[in-house]
């Protein structure tokens, strides 16, 4: 009986997948310029890149295993001798007998990789170095991440003719557990990259120019083509664009992609990965999806497995990795810690890096790993459940990744540009999550109905709760409810005048319309423009009208840091708590001093709104609008009065709901400012 239900569920899932696929095809036909859709060619290219990333992950996993093996097996002097023999600094005949088999094995691996690079055209035969072993220097390794070295270094060129003593004086590393696996990983990555470029050339490239085509550069590094088999050939424009965004052809990136896009990506990391509130809401959003998708029991099983049967858990994760669970680089980059000279650590710099949660710092790496696993764990749980239901491994992973957002699938150029430019910095997530969430809802209508009942019972439904529009009057305009796929309120009252930002937990798109005002729209760009003009990203004044210029400049810098640096340290929460501890008053939107409770509430996504002032402001605005319309004589005064009376009735009704009598309206309050300062 249970088996029959599972089969029926899988069949229903497949049917809905087909319906959504057909809808996607229809949208593709309608969107002739592919503004919001991707072409089949882009999807095929993305598959090649995904396979590349999976293979890259395998390379680093193998390199990590070699690193661990060498670190465990070799004594320091043996490690040093092995490196010198492989590097041609000493004869292999001088190696101890017990080291010779290992030397022969590593020598063969490195030489075979070099031969393969020659065959693929990624290395010219005359450039091949005898007794090759990549030379690493401690200072240089600490400057760049491994991925940076792979893509930016000029590979396998003839090395400077320095003596062994000169190289040692420059802090050349002679630790076999670092140098050998890194050399092998870089060689295998170059082989993989050359193979992928050849595969792409076979699929999409032509020798002659054709309509809407772009010529790939045939420039070389030391006589070796940068783009392998693609060099000098013509490819469709969308393939050229996809190639750039894939990082395989980074040298051809434009100024925006080289310099501005990384700035936006960095800010994204600061306000998401380094923000504890984002972690809470990320988990909450995934729990909501897991409940809807039927993954909660599997999630519990996987978490239990992680604690009680780590080997079984590792096997499950390794299976998922085969299909792309792991991004590309694994923990192999941690090898760099072995070459750090602890005596020379700059303590001050180390503290700043940890406070900034910079990549490479202990705190930074831990929080990145946490953020990574917040999604991975749910994917693994869904993957396990689907396999238990009889779905094939590859299909199971594809379905699990779709629900919890698969960032490896291609983006249309337009969507990618507005996301990367910072105008709509989370459009990538919205674009991927919206159809995926709609599909989950379509597959599980009963669970969706139960969720709606729960939202209604908690007073969090904006679709079924008649008081929702009244409640909007109690909050700032920017906090009003926006339509979403779950019909949940944007901000939910959790007692008194305290509200929680539930809307941030709701996956997929908010259907509140595109905001093109600089006060609240245009993402990071709009926020930066506002700060430069003396306002917060929400449009509130930063400084007083008569502040001196250096005071205004200082406040702008601090506001920029508040909004775009790690929130808990250099950003908003860190700054405000520090000032509060020093006795400097911290004001909220209403020019009121914020208590520690209010500051702490903001740290978990809860804010206090002054409902009385919000209602009073709305009433004053309605009265001013009536006066304006009366003056303009665009309508009869009776109509204006009726409109005002209706609005005032709603506002006063909302006031009674929370115990405020607004019958005195503007006689009771000072309405000099309609917009409160931040």
**Alpha carbon distance 493, 626 (integer Å):** 31
Give pLDDT tens digits for 170-180.
888 899 998 99
Q: Is 660 helix (H, G, I), strand (E, B) or coil?
A: coil
Give helix then strand counts, H and E, for the chain.
Answer: 28, 7
Strand partners, 172: 137
pLDDT for residue 297: 96
- Based on the number of CB atoms within 10 Å of its own CB, is 179 exposed (0-12), middle (13-18) or buried (19 or more)? buried
pLDDT for residue 41: 86
- Please identify which residue in the block is written with the tokens 């503007």: 666
Q: Is the pLDDT reported for residue 152 higher than 60?
A: no
Could you tell me which residues come within 8 angstroms of residue 584 by beta carbon, excluding any fewer than 6 positions away?
none
Count of CA atoms in the C-beta half-sphere (13 A) of 310: 1
With a pLDDT cut of 90, the percent of the chain lying above it is 31
Q: Which two tokens stand for residue 44?
A: 């095929």
Give the residue from 290, 425, 450, 297 showing the smallest Cα distance to 282.
290
Give the residue from 281, 329, 309 showing the smallest Cα distance to 145.
329
SS3 content of the chain, % helix, strand, coil (to 5): 65, 5, 30
Say if 508 falls within a structural domain: no
Q: Is the pLDDT reported for residue 667 higher than 50?
A: no
Same domain? For 294 and 263 the reply is: yes
Say if 455 falls within a structural domain: no
Buried/exposed code over 423-460 (b: 16+ C-beta within 10 A; e: otherwise): bbbebbbebbbbbbbbbbbbbbeeebeebbeebeeeeb
Cβ–Cβ < 8 Å for 531, 560: yes
Could you tell me which residues come within 8 angstroms of residue 436 by beta carbon, excluding any fewer than 6 positions away?
402, 403, 405, 508
Count of other CB atoms within 10 angstroms of residue 6? 14
Containing structural domain, residue 639: 611-668
**Alpha carbon distance 518, 456 (integer Å):** 34
Same domain? For 48 and 189 the reply is: yes
Same domain? For 148 and 242 the reply is: yes
The residue among 250, 266, 288 that closes a domain is 250
The residue among 187, 219, 250 that closes a domain is 250
Same domain? For 151 and 198 the reply is: yes
CA separation, residue 473 to residues 165, 467, 477, 605, 622 (Å): 76, 10, 8, 20, 12
R_g of the chain computed on alpha carbons: 30
Q: What is the torsion angle, in degrees rounded to the nearest 10, for the CA atoms of residue 18, residue 23, residue 29 and residue 34?
A: -100
Give pLDDT tens digits for 179-224.
999 999 988 988 888 888 888 889 899 999 999 899 988 877 655 6
Strand partners, 215: 234
Say if 53 falls within a structural domain: yes
Q: Which of 124-128, 165-169, 297-301, 399-403 has the highest mean pLDDT?
A: 297-301
Cβ–Cβ < 8 Å for 428, 53: no
pLDDT for residue 268: 92
Cβ–Cβ < 8 Å for 337, 362: no
Say if 48 falls within a structural domain: yes
**Alpha carbon distance 41, 241 (integer Å):** 12
Give the residue from 97, 92, 126 showing the smallest Cα distance to 107.
92
**Alpha carbon distance 174, 558 (integer Å):** 46
pLDDT for residue 244: 76
Say if 27 falls within a structural domain: no
**Alpha carbon distance 134, 184 (integer Å):** 9
Count of CA atoms in the C-beta half-sphere (13 A) of 245: 23
Give the residue from 376, 398, 364, 279 showing the smallest Cα distance to 327.
376
pLDDT for residue 58: 82
CA 254 to chain centre: 22
Q: Is the pLDDT reported for residue 676 higher than 50?
A: no
Q: What element of type H or E holds 498?
A: strand 498-500
**Alpha carbon distance 82, 178 (integer Å):** 12
Q: Is 266 helix (H, G, I), strand (E, B) or coil?
A: helix
Select the more confidently predicted residue: 164 or 138.
164
The residue among 200, 235, 250 that closes a domain is 250
Backbone φ and ψ of 462, nearest 5°: -100, -15
Backbone φ and ψ of 298, nearest 5°: -60, -35
Same domain? For 229 and 265 the reply is: no
Q: Which of 86-95, 158-167, 333-342, 441-450 has the lowest mean pLDDT?
A: 333-342
Same domain? For 634 and 532 the reply is: no
Same domain? For 107 and 164 the reply is: yes
Kindly give the pairing relationship between strand 492-495 and strand 234-236: unpaired
Same domain? For 246 and 266 the reply is: no
Q: Using 50, 70 and 90 to split pLDDT, how confident is the model at 4?
A: low
Same domain? For 276 and 129 the reply is: no
Q: Using 50, 70 and 90 to split pLDDT, how confident is the model at 336?
A: very low
Say if 677 falls within a structural domain: no
Q: Using 50, 70 and 90 to split pLDDT, how confident is the model at 500?
A: very high
Same domain? For 67 and 151 the reply is: yes
pLDDT for residue 209: 92
Q: Which two tokens stand for residue 674?
A: 């309609």
- Based on the number of CB atoms within 10 Å of its own CB, is 92 exposed (0-12), middle (13-18) or buried (19 or more)? middle
**Alpha carbon distance 650, 647 (integer Å):** 5
Give pLDDT tens digits for 541-563.
887 777 888 888 998 999 999 99
Alpha helix ranges (H) inside 444-477: 445-457, 468-472
The angle subtended at Cα 224 by Cα 218 and Cα 230, nearest 5°, is 40
DSSP state of 464: S
Q: Using 50, 70 and 90 to split pLDDT, how confident is the model at 234?
A: very high
What mean pLDDT is reported for the chain?
A: 83
Q: How far apart are the first and last CA of the chain?
A: 61
Cβ–Cβ < 8 Å for 282, 374: yes
pLDDT for residue 304: 96
Mean pLDDT along residues 41-68: 84
Domain count, the chain: 4
Say if 439 falls within a structural domain: no
CA separation, residue 585 to residues 516, 558, 596, 605 (Å): 33, 15, 11, 21
Same domain? For 54 and 201 the reply is: yes
Say if 450 falls within a structural domain: no
What's the pTM value of the predicted model, to 2 decimals? Answer: 0.79
pLDDT for residue 672: 40
> Phi-psi category of 461—alpha, beta or left, where left has phi over 0 and alpha has psi -120 to 50?
beta
Same domain? For 282 and 303 the reply is: yes
Q: Is 494 helix (H, G, I), strand (E, B) or coil?
A: strand
With a pLDDT cut of 70, the percent of the chain lying above it is 87
């Amino acid at each position: 009986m249970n088996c029959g239900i599972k089969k029926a569920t899988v069949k229903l899932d497949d049917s809905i997948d087909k319906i959504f696929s057909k809808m996607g095809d229809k949208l593709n036909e309608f969107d002739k310029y592919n503004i919001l859709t991707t072409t089949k060619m882009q999807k095929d290219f993305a598959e090649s890149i995904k396979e590349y990333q999976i293979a890259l992950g395998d390379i680093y996993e193998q390199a990590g295993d070699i690193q661990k093996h060498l670190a465990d097996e070799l004594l320091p002097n043996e490690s040093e001798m092995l490196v010198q023999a492989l590097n041609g600094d000493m004869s292999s005949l001088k190696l101890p007998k017990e080291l010779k088999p290992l030397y022969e094995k590593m020598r063969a691996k490195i030489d075979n990789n070099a031969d393969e690079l020659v065959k693929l055209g990624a290395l010219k035969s005359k450039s091949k170095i005898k007794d090759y072993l990549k030379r690493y220097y401690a200072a240089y390794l600490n400057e760049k991440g491994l991925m940076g070295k792979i893509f930016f270094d000029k590979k396998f060129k003839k090395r400077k003719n320095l003596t062994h003593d000169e190289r040692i004086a420059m802090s050349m590393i002679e630790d076999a557990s670092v140098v050998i696996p890194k050399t092998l990983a870089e060689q295998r990555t170059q082989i993989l990259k050359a193979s992928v470029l050849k595969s792409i050339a076979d699929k999409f490239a032509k020798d002659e120019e054709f309509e809407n085509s772009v010529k790939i550069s045939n420039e070389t590094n030391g006589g070796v083509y940068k783009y392998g088999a693609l060099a000098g050939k013509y490819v469709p424009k969308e393939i050229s664009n996809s190639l750039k965004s894939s990082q395989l052809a980074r040298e051809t990136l434009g100024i925006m992609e080289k310099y501005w896009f990384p700035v936006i990506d960095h800010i994204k990391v600061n306000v998401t990965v380094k923000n504890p509130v984002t972690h809470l809401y990320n988990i909450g959003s995934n729990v909501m999806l897991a409940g809807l998708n039927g993954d909660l029991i599997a999630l519990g099983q996987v978490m239990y497995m992680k604690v009680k049967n780590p080997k079984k858990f590792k096997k499950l994760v390794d299976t998922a990795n085969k299909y792309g669970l792991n991004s590309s680089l694994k923990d192999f980059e941690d090898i760099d810690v072995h070459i750090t000279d602890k005596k020379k650590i700059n303590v001050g710099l180390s503290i700043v890096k940890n406070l900034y949660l910079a990549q490479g710092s202990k705190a930074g790496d831990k929080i990145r790993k946490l953020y990574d696993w917040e999604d991975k764990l749910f994917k693994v749980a869904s993957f396990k459940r689907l396999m238990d239901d009889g779905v094939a491994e590859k299909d199971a992973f594809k379905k699990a990744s779709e629900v919890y957002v698969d960032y490896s699938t291609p983006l249309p150029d337009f969507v990618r540009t507005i996301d990367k430019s910072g105008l709509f910095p989370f459009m990538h997530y919205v674009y991927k999550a919206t159809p995926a969430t709609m599909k989950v809802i379509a597959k599980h209508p009963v669970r969706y109905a139960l969720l709606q009942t729960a939202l209604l019972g908690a007073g969090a439904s904006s679709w079924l709760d008649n008081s929702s529009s009244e409640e909007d009057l109690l909050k700032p305009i920017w906090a009003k409810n926006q339509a979403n796929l779950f019909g949940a309120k944007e901000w939910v009252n959790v007692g008194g005048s305290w509200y929680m930002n539930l809307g941030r937990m709701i996956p997929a798109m908010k259907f509140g319309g595109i905001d093109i005002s600089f006060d609240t729209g245009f993402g990071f760009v709009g926020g930066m423009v506002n700060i430069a003009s003396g306002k917060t990203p929400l449009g509130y004044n930063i400084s007083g009208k008569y502040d001196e210029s250096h005071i205004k400049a200082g406040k702008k810098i601090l506001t920029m840091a508040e909004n775009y640096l790690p929130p808990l340290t250099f950003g908003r929460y860190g700054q405000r708590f520090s000032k509060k501890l020093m006795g400097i008053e911290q004001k909220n939107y209403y020019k009121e001093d914020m208590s520690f409770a209010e500051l702490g509430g903001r740290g978990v996504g809860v804010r206090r709104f002054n409902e009385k002032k919000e209602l009073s402001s709305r009433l004053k605005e309605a009265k001013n609008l009536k006066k304006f319309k009366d003056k303009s004589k665009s309508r009869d005064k009776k109509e204006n009065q009726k409109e005002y009376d209706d609005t005032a009735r709603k506002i006063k009704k909302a006031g009674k709901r929370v115990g405020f009598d607004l019958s005195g309206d503007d006689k009771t309050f000072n309405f000099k400012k309609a917009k409160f300062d931040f």
